Amino acid sequence: MRTTIIPAQITTVEDKIAGSLNMTQILIMMVPVLWTALVYVLLFPSMKLAPYKLTLILFATVICLVLAFRVKDKIVAEWLGVLVKYRLRPKYYLFNKNNLTNRTLDIPELPAERVVVKKSTKKIIKSQNVDFDILDQVKLEHLINSGKVALTYQFSKKRT
């Protein structure tokens, strides 16, 4: 059995219904007929012709006829759809190689950690009240003020 490849141009041919009009064009041109019926029946004065009704009907008819025209084998409505899609597309694309979308991850389960609370013990430090003589205090002050001795304080633990 012999097989042949069918070109894409043959498979994408639009069906012509009436003359050179396809189904989309016919549906677009039927919209003004339905719009005319709605405007004539629903708007005041009902079932009578008024100048503002004619304006609405002509406006809808002109728009639908323009949308049904063909430009480069596409109707204007399709070109309008292409332009709208182009305008609504994102302007900037941000790619993140660390994105987890559509990835299967092998994450091992970690055992639950036990929390051990340490009891804090406070040592009671007994302060010794040592009484210094006034003579010793004067000698100490004179020694500090002379500049021959550097005095620094160091605490073993931080006090709160």
Domain ranges of the chain: 14-88
Q: CA end-to-end span of the chain, whole Å?
A: 95
Of 80, 64, 70, 65, which is closest to residue 14 (Cα–Cα)? 70
**pLDDT tens digits for range 97-119:** 777 777 787 888 888 888 888 87
**pLDDT tens digits for range 134-150:** 888 888 888 888 877 77
DSSP H or E stretch at residue 27:
helix 23-42
Judge contact between 53 and 40, C-beta under 8 A.
yes
**pLDDT tens digits for range 39-82:** 999 999 999 999 999 999 999 999 999 999 999 989 999 999 99
